[in-house]
Amino acid sequence: MGNRYFEVLERASSFLEKQGKEGYSILFVFLERKGWTKTDWLLHLKEEMPLTDEQQINEDLKRLADNYPPQYLLGYSDFYEQRFLVNEHTLIPRPETEELVDRCLKENPNQQLTVVDVGTGTGAIALSLKLARPNWQVTAIDISEEALKVAKQNAQQLEAEVEFIHGDGLKPIQDKKIDILISNPPYIGEAEWALMDESVRTFEPKSALFADNDGLAIYQQLAQEAKQTLNPDGKIYLEIGFQQGEAVKHLFQQVFPKKQVQVAQDLSGNDRMVIVSSKKEEG
């Protein structure tokens, strides 16, 4: 008699934990590959596992033990209730970035607005915004041609009409006026490199993670470029590193002295967003 599902997965999971890895990740990958819910899992766990499943698990286990991210193994990641293709040329979309999208949608109605997402990666921000606000004219820019290939595939799959441009920051659209700039730019400085998970350091694209000047270089660039392109009552939504709130706020307040610049926290209570809104509000 062969091994039962739960025995194989239990062994795989404790193998990962002994190596200091996340034990659950193998079950997550397994369920995703099978298209099973937790309920399906409970129904099948005492059944005998086919050899093909066991071979797949052993293969996945080797990669996970090497810190290979589960999302890259599967080739997709879920973000804001949609599924996005991912590969090693794109950052894996994070839950914190969903909060940035959520904030932008809550504060802006479905009217004719020109919106630009800088450093789009998989297209997660731009496409989520377009799907929720069909009247917005959304442009997504990335410096990586490989990332843009993935973003365009995602746009096709999700049937969202977004314009993709290869370029650096807001440079490609300097003659245009925009209502909203949104960005999750590279913001990790050299000092934070050691704090990153090994899977991030080894496999996710460095150009999407790191920036000079303690991680502030792209914010400095965007602040200057936005000065030219942002409409007078335009808004900016930025994701930031948890230690960068005050620095990024100060930077944008200097460039936009008449606007309100605020630091907002994510659900874990960490500084995670800087929002530049149309005017300074009282109180």
114 is annotated as contributing to ligand binding: no
167 is annotated as contributing to ligand binding: no
179 is annotated as contributing to ligand binding: no
123 is annotated as contributing to ligand binding: yes
186 is annotated as contributing to ligand binding: yes
120 is annotated as contributing to ligand binding: yes
93 is annotated as contributing to ligand binding: no
187 is annotated as contributing to ligand binding: yes
Q: Which string of DSSP letters, residue by residue, matches the chain?
A: ---BHHHHHHHHHHHHHHTTS-THHHHHHHHHHHT--HHHHHHHTTSBPPHHHHHHHHHHHHHHHTT--HHHHHTEEEETTEEEE--TTSPPP-HHHHHHHHHHHHHS-SSS-EEEEES-TTTHHHHHHHHH-TTSEEEEEES-HHHHHHHHHHHHHHT---EEEESSTTGGGTTS-EEEEEE----B-GGGGGGS-HHHHHHS-GGGTB-HHHHTHHHHHHHHHHHHHEEEEEEEEEE--TT-HHHHHHHHHHH-TTSEEEEEE-TTS-EEEEEEESSPPP-
Annotated binding site for substrate: which residue ranges?
184-187
Q: Which residues are annotated as a binding site for S-adenosyl-L-methionine?
A: 119-123, 142, 184
- Binding-site residues, in ranges, read 119-123, 142, 184-187
